[in-house]
Structure formats: C-alpha cells, structure tokens
Chain A
Amino acid sequence: MSTVHVTPVRTYLLVFFALMVLTLLTVGVAHVNIAHHLPGQMTDAINDAVAMAIAVTKATLVILFFMGVWHSARLNKVIVWSALFFLAVLFAFILVDYFSRGWLGVPGK
C-alpha cells in the first residue's frame, strides 16, 4: 500500500564518495591562486567563485539524494525552489543597498 521509493545503498555510497572528492577538491584549490593561472583580468574573486560552485554542487547532491527530493512529491520541490528564491531576494535587495552606498555624494549616507 505504501509507495515509498527505496534507493539502493550503492547510490548513497556513490553520493558519499562524490561528496568526499569534492571536499578534498575545495581544500586543494583554496591553496592555489587561480587568477595567476588564467589569462586576462581575473581577480581573487575567482577563488571564491570556485569554492562556492563546489559547495553548491555538494549541497545539490545532499538535497537530491540524501534528502530524497529526486523522488519526492512535486509540492516538496516547490517548497525547495521557493525557499531558495526568497533567500535570493533577501541577498539581492540588501546587497544592492550596501554595495551602492557611496556611489552618490548623499550626505549622511
């Protein structure tokens, strides 16, 4: 009567292995000044971008497989996406404010 999807243990072990590889990768690249190895006007921010890309990949693996969203009801996926959307709204509006202060010579900024 129950329609729970049971994921094979092998899938979980593969996800765990991928998470371990990505963890070691993020520690490794943190010690490399990536901008020095790339052509053009790259800044230090490239290191942050790489670290965050790895973290987002790891989080996605955890959400899809460990938290079971891959086989989850569609309504749960809506909650996940809307949570991320509202987080993005929070970041976008606050950062636009902080980063643009001082662009205009407004007194008392």
Chain B
Amino acid sequence: MASETRPAPLAHHFDDYDQQREAATLGMWLFIAQELMFFGGLFLTYTVYRWKYPLFFALGSNQLDIPLGLLNTIVLIGSSLTMVLAVRSAQLGRGRQIAGWLAATMTLGTAFLVIKGFEYHHKWVHHLIPGKGFHLAGTDDPAAQTFFVLYFCMTGLHALHMIVGLGLLAFLVPKALRGEFSAENHNWVEGVGLYWHFVDIIWIFLFPLLYLLGRHHA
C-alpha cells in the first residue's frame, strides 16, 4: 500500500520546499492571529463583568471542581507534548511514528472532552445552568448568572475548537499511515499542530480565570 502513494509534491507556484513550508506556516499564524481576536472578545467581556460583579464571580468560581480542572490542564498540556512529537516525527519523515503520536494526541483530546462532559453534567444537576432553574447558594440576584454564562460560552467555544481539532487529527492519521508526509512536505501536520497548541494556550488562561479566582477567601 505504501508503495502506491507518494509524499505530496512541491506545488508549482513555489520555488522550493522551504518556501512552500514557510508560506503554509505564515498562513496558519495569520489564522491564529484572528482566532486570538475571536477569543479576545470573550476574555474582554469576562474582564468587564468580573470588575462589575466581583462577588458573584468568586461565588461562581468556588462551585467549579479544581481537581477535575487541574486534571484536564495536565491532560491538555500532555496532548500538546504528543502533538509536538508528531510534528518532530514528521520533520524526520517517520510516517508510522507520526500516526502513533497523532493517535495519542486524539486519545488525550477525547479524554479532555469526556472530563469536561462530566463537569457540565455536574453543573446541570446542581442548577448552575443560566436560565429559569438557576440557583447559586449565597445570592438571589439574577446577575449572579453572569459568571456561568461566561463559563459556558468560554469553555464551550474552547470545546468546539477541540472537536474541530480532533476531526483534523482523524483526517491526518490515515494520511500519515499512507506515507503522504515527508521531511520536505508535512505542512498539514505542522499547521494542525499550531492550531492544537493555540487551543491549549486558551485553556492555560481559562483554567486560572474560571477555576481559581477568589479561592483565597474560602
């Protein structure tokens, strides 16, 4: 099977593989720059409302499960490590190894979403979904829902990015097994890797902002 497929060739409008790779990486960085502005709006909203309702944010944050959040942080950073090892294998042109590291990344990414699912379920059971049935111990003010609106928007958008990332990884594994990536041309692996690390960085900020604030009062 491997003999039938060849690594993706150089596109005719590029001088050499280096130029092709640099163009692909630059394009991915531009995409990530606009993704940063996309998430930036939510982080900004968080800042404004936290400044307006510090007490509700502290009360809401104390409802979140730190051990699960910490576990998910470790799982996600671990998936960034396996992703970077996939890119490294691609740089060395080792097809089967790429597929192995990509599969490991998918496993960790899926574990993250499963843990997140348990957390969402816990919020549902404890009436912490914004809306009619919402109830947060310590306050009757409807504005207390603000923290949870932002919690679900921010972690939800992050989880959506994880799902897209898992889809991209699933698309790359068979390509890697067919030997379509070479040391000269593995731009798909490189680009998805950048995307995956970006999603990891978003979580690096979400974890302290959502789970850890106001804990020193408790």
Q: How many residues of B contact A (CB 8 A)?
A: 53
| A20-B77, A66-B84 as given contacts; A87 in contact with B36, CB under 8 Å | yes
| A4-B183, A16-B81 as given contacts; A83 in contact with B33, CB under 8 Å | yes
Question: When the two chains form the complex, which single residue of A1, A30, A84, A86 contacts B212, counting CB atoms closer than 8 Å?
Answer: A30
Contacts of B48 in A (CB 8 A): 94-95, 98
B17 touches A2 (CB 8 A): yes
CA distance A16 to B82 in the complex (A): 10
CA distance A98 to B51 in the complex (A): 10
With an 8 A cutoff between CB atoms, is A32 at the interface? yes
CA distance A86 to B25 in the complex (A): 20
Quick one: which of A1-57 are within 8 Å of B by CB? Answer: 1-4, 6-7, 9, 12-13, 16, 19-20, 23-24, 26-27, 30-34, 44, 47-48, 51-52, 54-55
B205 touches A66 (CB 8 A): no
Quick one: which of B132-158 are within 8 Å of A by CB? Answer: none
Question: When the two chains form the complex, which single residue of B37, B51, B183, B208 contacts A52, counting CB atoms closer than 8 Å?
Answer: B208
With an 8 A cutoff between CB atoms, is B216 at the interface? yes
CA distance A33 to B87 in the complex (A): 42
B78 touches A59 (CB 8 A): no
Quick one: which of B9-66 are within 8 Å of A by CB? Answer: 16-18, 21-22, 25-26, 29-30, 32-33, 36-37, 40-41, 44, 47-48, 51, 66
Considering only CB atoms, which chain A residue lies closest to B215 in the complex? A30
With an 8 A cutoff between CB atoms, is B163 at the interface? no
Contacts of A87 in B (CB 8 A): 36-37, 40
| Most chain A beta carbons < 10 A, residue from B80, B85, B184, B208 | B208
CA distance A6 to B87 in the complex (A): 9
CB of A30 to closest CB in B, whole Å = 4
Q: Which residues of B contact A (CB under 8 A)?
A: 16-18, 21-22, 25-26, 29-30, 32-33, 36-37, 40-41, 44, 47-48, 51, 66, 70, 73-74, 77-78, 80-81, 83-85, 87-88, 91-92, 183-184, 193-194, 197-198, 200-201, 204-205, 207-209, 212-213, 215-218
